[in-house]
Amino acid sequence: GGAGTMMTTKGASMRWSDFGESTAEDLQASALERPLLSRSARRQPPPWFRKCRPLLLVAGSVVFLTTTSFIPVFNKRLFDRHFHYPLFTTSVYLLACFLGGIFYFLSKWAWARGLAHWCGDREAQAASPEAPWRRRPHYATARYWVAIVRATWLLGVAFGLKLGLGNWGLDLVSVDYHVLFECTALLWVALAGALVLGERPSRSSWAVIAAMVAGQVLLGLQFSSEPHASLLGITVNLLTPTLQGLCVVLTRYSALLLFPDWITKGNDDDDDDDGDENEEDGRSHSNDDGRAIQHRSARSHTSGAIRVWNVFGVLNLDCIMEDHGGETFAFHVDTLVAFTSVKLLFSFLACAPASLLMEGFLSNQPFWTAITGDNAGFLCWNLAIGSVVTFLLQASLVLLAMISVALSLGVLSVVKIVPQLGAGIWFSRKTFAATPMHVSGVALILGASLAYAAIKVAAASGTKAKRWWPASLRE
């Protein structure tokens, strides 16, 4: 009995020792693997996501570039038909997108309820309190929508102001001049991303930013002799890129709240952490799966402003959807649709009052008097098309915000200028002055975007992307 007790005690002691050692190792690994700007441990992404992530990036980029090139030309065509109501047009787009999202969830709920109720033994289902059709899905609970609202309201308000100002500015100047003023948006993305998210660009990323801004300026100088630009038009079009940069960062911020770490903090988040600050602190690289492990010192990237704001509950960079138990693909698709719809609802609430005041009660010709029997069909058809394209544009932006950092969204927002200008020139029957300066502008934008893509591909494959850059940028 004594021997048995000793063996039991010894065994317990051995197990306790083993447990203690493994706990220390686990805690150390957990601390190292904990993603930047989040207190939750990183989960392993499923195999399908690893394989489909590049496809999602490409598909989202193609949809974003296509729709964002179509919308300005389409809106300008509508405004030129004696319907100069950009704020009203924007409000209709936003409200229609929100109603489309609500229709999506109502249709899904009705389909799931009917399918579960009519398939199988209905008597057994009726007798069971756990019947599938009795259980409420996540999108039918108040907690789910409170979380969505909490994550998107600030972005929605900012985006509504930006979209309203953008369409107003587009009505005041030409498409070409409107696009020229967007050259500062990338700078605002970089600054706001560093302050709010701690995503500080490296030296190579700053070189990309400088090249893209220079390319935008060179390209836009072609249209510097805008004859119809007023002081109001210039002011409105200067405010638009500032709000655009803020909206890009807030989109990434909302994605961090609504989607798990294995989606939002993949290889892409390591791109902007390859500066000399990380070199000095040191960082451990590459576990068995080939993913970079953040060093504990990388937490220093979280700026003091973030910590101060977190005290007041303004910013919270942890995923708030983990308690909803949604780890399926369908759950994340629902969250993407809910994200887009609720964001656009708040955008509508921010834009609609200005529309009613400026283009309604305070206008010489309110928008409701401009809608007549002759143009009602044309307006309804065009507003419906614009609403669908707007939803696709915003959904693709949310998708890209899920799987890439804010600076990547900013770079893509600069690349869109090239197809936007091409579409504007084509549909307005203008000509492009193929001077060395203008060609250099296009080359700088496209070349810098390709260089940025090469950096990200190299980072994803575990290669030091900065070795491709001159020694002056690496030091």
Task: Supply the mean pLDDT for the chain.
Answer: 73
Label residue 452 by pLDDT band (50, 70, 90).
confident
The pLDDT value given to residue 283? 34
Over 60: is that where the pLDDT of 126 sits? no
Whose CA is closest to 77, among 369, 360, 382?
A: 382
How far, CA to CA in Å, does 203 sit from each of 59, 278, 318, 400, 461? Answer: 29, 12, 28, 23, 20
Whose CA is closest to 112, among 137, 142, 131?
A: 137
Whose CA is closest to 93, among 395, 336, 388?
A: 388
- Within 86-184, where are the H helices? 86-118, 122-127, 142-172, 175-180
Q: pLDDT tens, 249-262?
A: 999 999 998 998 88
Over 70: is that where the pLDDT of 265 sits? yes
Is the Cβ–Cβ distance between 38 and 319 less than 8 Å?
A: yes
**Which tokens go with 319?**
């995923």
The pLDDT value given to residue 427? 66
The pLDDT value given to residue 315? 56
pTM for this model (two decimals): 0.71
Over 90: is that where the pLDDT of 318 sits? no
Label residue 344 by pLDDT band (50, 70, 90).
very high
Over 50: is that where the pLDDT of 4 sits? no
The pLDDT value given to residue 311? 37
The pLDDT value given to residue 130? 52
Lowest mean pLDDT, pick from 51-65, 212-226, 273-287:
273-287
Whose CA is closest to 358, among 350, 367, 349?
A: 367
The pLDDT value given to residue 18? 42
Q: pLDDT tens, 398-441?
A: 999 998 888 888 888 788 877 777 777 776 656 666 677 778 88
Distance CA 315, CA 250 (A): 10
What per-residue string of b and e applies to 144-179 under the rule 16 or more CB within 10 Å gives b?
beebbebbbbbbbbbbbbbbbbbbbbbbbbbbbbbb
DSSP classification of residue 137: P
Mean pLDDT over residues 269-292, rounded? 38
Distance CA 65, CA 427 (A): 17
Q: Compute the CA torsion angle 354, 360, 366, 371 (nearest 10 deg).
A: 70
Mean pLDDT over residues 168-178, rounded? 72
Domain coordinates in residue numbering, the chain: 44-121+131-474
Percent of the chain with pLDDT over 70: 65
Over 70: is that where the pLDDT of 87 sits? yes
Distance CA 249, CA 244 (A): 9
The pLDDT value given to residue 293? 32
Mean pLDDT over residues 443-457, rounded? 84
Lowest mean pLDDT, pick from 43-52, 214-223, 293-302, 377-386:
293-302
Percent of the chain with pLDDT over 90: 19
Does residue 136 sit in helix, strand or coil? coil
Distance CA 475, CA 409 (A): 27
The pLDDT value given to residue 179? 66
The pLDDT value given to residue 326? 61
Mean pLDDT over residues 440-469, rounded? 72
Q: pLDDT tens, 9-23?
A: 434 444 434 434 444
